[in-house]
Amino acid sequence: MQLVNTNVASTTAGTITVEFHGEGNELVSVRMAKDATISDHDAIQHAKQMMVQLTAFGEETGSYSVQGEGASIDDTLSAEVNGSLSET
């Protein structure tokens, strides 16, 4: 993925989301617990470390749900806040 832009956003639910935008509408989002003292730069570095750990261990475990094609991060966060995100 060729990185084009990076966004950092805090939510009212006490999380912080880092979005890595690539060419061709590629998007990787990493959400983590919000620490009041974390800077945007540190949040980006932490998100990168989390992705490295995911790729290093590679085993898919746990459960997941699919929001549907085209669901935005705003829609997903709204669904979680409203309790409508299904867990499998």
49-80: per-residue pLDDT in tens?
999 988 877 666 666 666 555 556 666 666 65
User: What global pTM score does this model have?
Assistant: 0.65
Residue type at 23? E
1 neighbors 15 (Cβ within 8 angstroms): no
Percent over 90 (pLDDT), the chain: 44
Q: β-strand 15-22 against 3-10: which pairing, if any?
A: antiparallel
How many other C-beta atoms are found inside a 10 Å radius of the C-beta of residue 25? 7
pLDDT in tens, 2-51: 999 999 998 878 899 999 999 999 999 999 998 888 899 999 999 999 99
In the chain, where the domains are located: 3-82
Least Cα distance to 9 among 26, 46, 28, 34 occurs for 34
- Name every residue whose Cβ is closer than 8 Å to that of residue 5 and which is 6 or more positions away in sequence: 21
- Please give the angle made by the CA atoms of 57, 29 and 41, to the nearest 5 degrees: 95
